[in-house]
Amino acid sequence: MIARFKTFICAHTTKYGDGVLDHFKVSYTTQIKAWLGVLYLFRLTVLNSRKYIFETFRNRELIACLNPRDVLILGGKPDLHQCLENGYGLFRTGGIEAAILVAWRRGRTAPLILQIYLAKKLLRGRKYFFLWEDTLPVGIFFSLLGNSCHHSTICIQHGFHSAGASGAGLNDGALCKYNLLYALEQKEHIPSSDTAIFELGLPYDVASSNEISREIVLVGTGEHEYRRDFYFRSLDFYKRVQEQLRGRGWAVTYRPHPDEHGSDYSSLFPAVDEGTKLACLSGPRKTFIGYVSTLLYEARTLGHCVICVTDPAMHKNSFTPNAEIDADDARNIETVIDNLHSEMETILVPRPRPIRDRFLAILGEIEMDRRCLDE
């Protein structure tokens, strides 16, 4: 397992330029934490009755579908309050992360080997690992661990992939036995033919409305670290859109990517939405304008109006928006929006099955498949 772990960490060198762990320093505290992590693993003897194991609270809507007494969260100190409040178990992964770092940067694999050995011994019974990634250290650790112990490893895709969005073979889902996708057409982006695919749809419920509002949401690209020129060009385009619509009865809001820095955009947009995604997608139908983003796909799926901006420097979305507009021309944006709103008046908002029903139906199929494999 150590060799496979190293192989998958090395694969990220191509994507990030440096190894994914090469920017971290290994202090004496980190080395002590790695060894303390070996002792902390014995906490699994207390938590072993919990069979549904989730990596953080990223998919809290799915976690809420299950009996809290069956749920174990892989997280850290920030997750403690929510676990205590709801009755979930908590296993802190800091010791595992430290052991991974010490093994990678210092070549001292003893803490990591011991943690793997103990985890294999202590995780008894049928377990279901729900991971939001299997390409970063923690996700790789638990997917390889789960597979080697014949547990069910399930990757809940946390985005909608578009062609050219990432390097070949670097998308999540390669290591897990099962993948839950936004849409079945996304399976072409899963770098493994051995995984079972399920269409979950959007992993949450949203209170939507057929009412059409005059709210405009400009969706940040999140490219400020990797492609600075493109990023500031996108801000310039959004600023021109804002100027075109200002004073005409439109409520224009900029919604930054979670990784953006406020110093880059705060002076450009009077109204900035940093609230939850569910709040942004709920209520009357809005108009979303952006380049390539999972949020645009989610908005389109929920019946909002979506206008994608085309730019030669950016690949295109893998779904069909309501309209496209060239990045060099924002002059006709209001006409485009008015025409789309007229069309939307005759189209009702789709009503998907509740997330609880969708998730539990898929979980039932996975559990049945697991029982068949065990026989």
Using CA atoms, how far apart are residues 243 and 186, in angstroms rounded to an integer?
36
Beta-bridge partner residues of 326: 310
Residue of 88 and 6 predicted with greater confidence: 88
Read off φ and ψ for residue 88, nearest 5 degrees: -85, 150
Beta-bridge partner residues of 252: 216
> Exposed, middle or buried by CB within 10 Å (0-12, 13-18, 19+), for 288?
buried
- Residue 337, pLDDT score: 95
- pLDDT digit string, tens, across residues 316-353: 888 999 999 998 888 889 999 999 999 998 888 888 89
pLDDT at 14 exceeding the cut of 70? no
Is residue 55 within 8 A of residue 130, CB to CB? The reply is: yes
Residue of 184 and 54 predicted with greater confidence: 54
- Residue 174, pLDDT score: 86
Instruction: Tell me the CATH number for domain 208-344.
Output: 3.40.50.1000
State the average pLDDT over residues 111-135: 91
- pLDDT digit string, tens, across residues 175-224: 899 999 999 988 888 877 788 999 999 999 998 889 999 999 999 987 76
- Residue 357, pLDDT score: 97
Length of the chain as a residue count: 375
Is residue 221 within 8 A of residue 292, CB to CB? The reply is: yes
Residue of 23 and 280 predicted with greater confidence: 280
Domain boundaries, the chain: 2-204+359-370, 208-344
- Residue 168, pLDDT score: 43
Q: Which amino acid is at 321?
A: P
State the average pLDDT over residues 275-295: 95
- Give the start-end residues of each E strand in 106-244: 128-131, 152-156, 178-181, 196-199, 208-219
**Identical fold, 2-204+359-370 and 208-344:** yes
The CATH number for 2-204+359-370, chosen from 3.30.300, 1.10.3470, 3.40.50, 3.30.1180, is: 3.40.50
- Give the start-end residues of each E strand in the chain: 52-55, 71-75, 89-92, 128-131, 152-156, 178-181, 196-199, 208-219, 251-255, 283-290, 305-310, 323-326
pLDDT at 31 exceeding the cut of 50? yes
Residue 126 CB partners (closer than 8 Å, separation 6+): 51, 151, 152, 370, 374
Least confident of 143-157, 307-321, 333-347, 351-365: 307-321
pLDDT at 92 exceeding the cut of 90? yes
- Residue 95, pLDDT score: 93
pLDDT at 24 exceeding the cut of 80? no
Q: Specify the residue for token string 């490893």.
A: 153
- 163: pLDDT confidence band, cut at 50, 70 and 90? low
Distances (CA, A) of 141 to 135, 137, 197: 9, 6, 21
Quote the mean pLDDT of the chain. Answer: 88
- Residue 165, pLDDT score: 47
